[in-house]
Structure 1
Amino acid sequence: MRALISSDFRRQSKGDKLFDIMNYIILSVILLVVLYPLIFIVVASVSEPDAVARGEVWLLPVGLNIDGYKEVLKNTDIWQGYANTIKYTVTGTLLNVCLTIPAAYALSRKELVGRNLLMGMITFTMFFGGGLIPTYLLVSGLHLNNTMWALIIPGAISVYNLIISRSYFVSNIPEELFEAGQMDGCSYFKFFFSVVLPLAKPILGVIVLMYAVGHWNSYFNALIYLRDRQLYPLQVILREILIQQEASMSMGGSAASVMEQQRIADMLKYGVIIVSTLPILCVYPFIQKYFVKGMMIGSVKG
C-alpha cells in the first residue's frame, strides 16, 4: 500500500505535488490547533497547580497531582448528576431517533402529498422560533416543569438532523428497491423496517452521536425548567461547583488564603472538564466510521 501511494506521488506533476504538500501542512497545523488544547487539559489536570500557573506545563505533566479528581469525584452530587445525565441522554436520544428517522423517510417519499410544503414549514422553524418566554409558557401549560420531559420533549426533533436524514434516504435508497418490495407484497411499514433501517446504519450513527452529545452537554434547559436538585444533570452540578469556588475566592481573606483557593479552583477546573467529556470521548471512536460516512453521503444532495 505504501509503495502504491509513493508511486502515485512520483507520477504527479510538480503542481499536484506542491498542492498535496500544502494540504498536508495546512491539515497538520489545523490538527495541532484542535488537538493541543485537549492534550493540555489532560496534562494540566494531573500536574501541580503551581506549575500550571507558572506556565511550566506544555506537553508533559509537571509533578503528579490528582487532588482535583479526588475533590470532584468525592462530591455525591456529581454521581447523582451522572445518573441523571445518562438517563436523559439515553431516553432523549432514543425518542429523537424514533421520531426523526420515520419522519425523514416519509418526507423522502415522492408519493407523500404536500411533502415540499411540509418540508418548507419544517425548515422555517430553523430560522424563526417563538423564543424563550413562549416556550416556557408552553412547557408550563403542559405541566412538564420540574420533570425530565421538559429537557426531552421540546427538542424531540432537530430540523438539521431531519434534513440530513432525508437527504440520505433520497440519495441512498433506490426507488427500484421499493418497487421490487411492492411486487412481493411488501407494505410501507415492512419495507421501512426490513430494508430501509438496515441500510441506514451510517446516518443512524450520525444522528445518534449528534443527539447524544447535545443531551450530554445541555444545561440551559435544566436551569430554566428544573427546581428539584435531585433532577439536576451533570453539567449543572459541575457549573455549581465552579461558581461556588469562584464565590469563595471573591470573599477575600489573606493573600495565602486567596492563593490556596486559586490553586484549588485550578485543580477543580481541569478535573471537571475531563470528568464531563470523558464518556463522549470513549463512545465516539466506536461510531466514528458511521459518523463520517453518514455525514459525507447525507450531504450529497437533498
Structure 2
Amino acid sequence: MKAIRAKKTNKSVKPYEKGIFNIFNTIGMCIVMLVTVYPMWYALINSLNSGDALVKGYSFFLPEKFTLASWKLVLGDAEIINALWITGSRTIIVTIGSTLITAMFAYGFSRPYLYGRKFFAGLGFISMYFSGGTIATFILVNWLKLYNTYWVYIIPALFGGFYNVIIYNANFKAIPESLFESAKIDGASEFKIFFSIVLPLSKPVLAALGVFTACGVWNDYGTTLFYTQSSSLQTLANYTLKLIKSSQAVEQLAATVMQSNQSVSALVNSSMGSGETTSKTVELAAMVLTTIPVVVAYPFVQKFFTKGVMVGSVKG
C-alpha cells in the first residue's frame, strides 16, 4: 500500500510542472532581490559620483565620474564621527545588556515554581498593548536625571519587552527538564544553570533577537528627539535626517528664488556645492554610512534567523 501511495504521489507532480514552478520562483526571487538591493546600490553609486555629474542627472548603474570626495567629507566631519560613536557604542551596550537581562527574566518566568507567575504575566501582557505615553515617559526620564545624558540611551532600553520574553520563554521550556534536574542534583545554582546550560542551548534565538534589538537601536531617532538637547548626543540617524532636511530646504529655496531672481538663484545654487561634492552627494554618503553596519552584520547571523525564531515560537 505504501509503495502504491508513493507512486501516486510521484505521478501527481510532473517534471515539467516542477520546472515551471522553479522558473517562476526564480523570477519572483530576482524581482524581490532587485527591489530590495537596488535602492542601496543606487544610493551608493551616486554617493561615489562627482557633484557636477550628479547635477546633470542621477546614475543608475555605475558612477559617471568616480570620486571619494563626498565620503572623505563625511568621514572627516567631527560631528558625524561623534554621532557614529554614540550610535555604535549605544548599540553594542544595549544589545548585549538587553539580550542578557531579558533572557534572565524569561528564564525565571519559565520556571513553574516562580511565585506570582500569573501576576507578572498579566503585567507583561498589559505592557504589550498599553504604554505610559510620551509625556509620562518624559517626566519619568527627567525625574531619574537621565534627560540630556548618555545614559538615557542605555538604561530605558535594557529590557527588551515582553514580546521577547514570550519567545525566550517558549525556547527555554523546550529544553528537557532532566537537564535542570541533573544540574540541581550536582549542586548547581540557578545562575550556574542559566549560564552553563540555558544560554549555550539558546544561541539561535539569542542571536536572532539580538539582531532585531541591534537594528532597532541603531535606527532609533525618537530617543534623541525627545530626551536630548546637546548636539554632542545626537545619533547617526538624527544627523542623517538633519542633513536631508537641510539639503531639501536649500533645494526648495533655490527653486523658489529661481522664478524671480536669476542672480540670487545662482548664489543659492553655489551654496549647495559644486565640483566634486554637492549637498546631495554628501547626503547620499551619510545615508549609505548609516545602513552599512546592518548590511555587513546580517550575513553573519542570517543562519540563526529561521532556526532561532522557529525554536522560540514553537513550544517543544
Which TM-score tier does this pair reach, normalised by the shorter chain? 0.7 to 0.9
Q: 1:96 aligns with which of 95, 98, 105?
A: 98
Distance in 2, matches of 1:145 and 1:56, equals 42
Q: Distance between the aligned counterparts of 2:43 and 2:68, measured in 1? A: 13
Are the equivalent residues in 1 in contact too, given 2:99–2:160 (CA < 8 A)?
Answer: no
Correspondences of 1:33-182 after superposition (within 5 Å)? 33-49=35-51, 52=54, 57-159=59-161, 160-171=163-174, 173-182=175-184
Provide Cα deviations, 1:8-37, integer angstroms capped at 9, x if missing partner. Answer: x99953555544444333333222211111
SS in 1 for 2:34: helix
**Aligned partner of residue 154 in structure 1, secondary structure:** helix
2:304 maps to which residue?
290
Q: Distance in 1 between matches of 2:268 and 2:178?
A: 71
Q: 1:70 and 1:10, CA in 2 relative to 1: closer, same or farther beyond 3 A?
A: farther
Q: Deviations over 1:137-180 (max 9, x none)?
A: 11111111111221222232222222222222223x11121122
2:243 equivalent in structure 1: 241
Residues 186/271 of structure 1: CA separation in 2 closer, same or farther (3 Å cut):
same
1:265 Cα offset (Å) = 2.5
Distance 2:57 2:135 in 1: 45
Give the letter aligned to residue 256 of structure 1.
Answer: A
Residues 242 and 268, structure 1, Cα contact 8 Å, conserved in 2: no
Distance in 1, Cα, partners of 2:287 & 2:154: 24
CA distance in 2, matches of 1:181, 1:12: 51
Q: Which residue of 1 aligns with 2:280?
A: 266
For the aligned residues, what is the CA RMSD?
2.7
Q: Does structure 1 retain, via aligned residues, the 8 Å contact 2:224–2:235?
A: yes
Which letter maps to 2:82? Q
Amino acid at match of 1:13: K
Separation in 2, partners of 1:10, 1:96: 52
> 2 CA distance for matches of 1:219 and 1:235?
6
Rounded to whole Å, the distance in 2 between the matches of 1:237 and 1:186 is: 49
Write the letter of the residue equivalent to 1:148: Y
Give the Cα separation in 1 of the matches to 2:11 and 2:154: 55
Partner of 1:6: none
**Partners of 1:110 and 1:21 in 2: how far apart?**
51
| Alpha carbons 1:167, 1:299 under 8 Å: kept | yes
Q: Offset at 1:251?
A: 4.4
Is there any run of 5+ residues in structure 2 with no aligned partner, and where? 1-9, 258-263
Residue 277 (structure 1) aligned to one of 291, 294, 298: 291
Give the Å deviation of 1:131.
0.9
In structure 2, give the amino acid aligned to 1:144.
Answer: L
Which structure has the larger Rg?
2
| Contact 2:92 2:214 (8 Å CA) reproduced | yes
| In structure 2, distance between residues paired with 1:185 and 1:154 | 35
User: Mean alpha-carbon deviation: is it higher for 52-61 or for 97-106?
Assistant: 52-61
Pair 1:13–1:116, CA change in 2 (3 A) = farther
Q: Which runs of 5+ in 1 are unaligned?
A: 1-8
* 2:195 equivalent in structure 1: 193
So what's the TM-score if we normalise by structure 1? 0.85
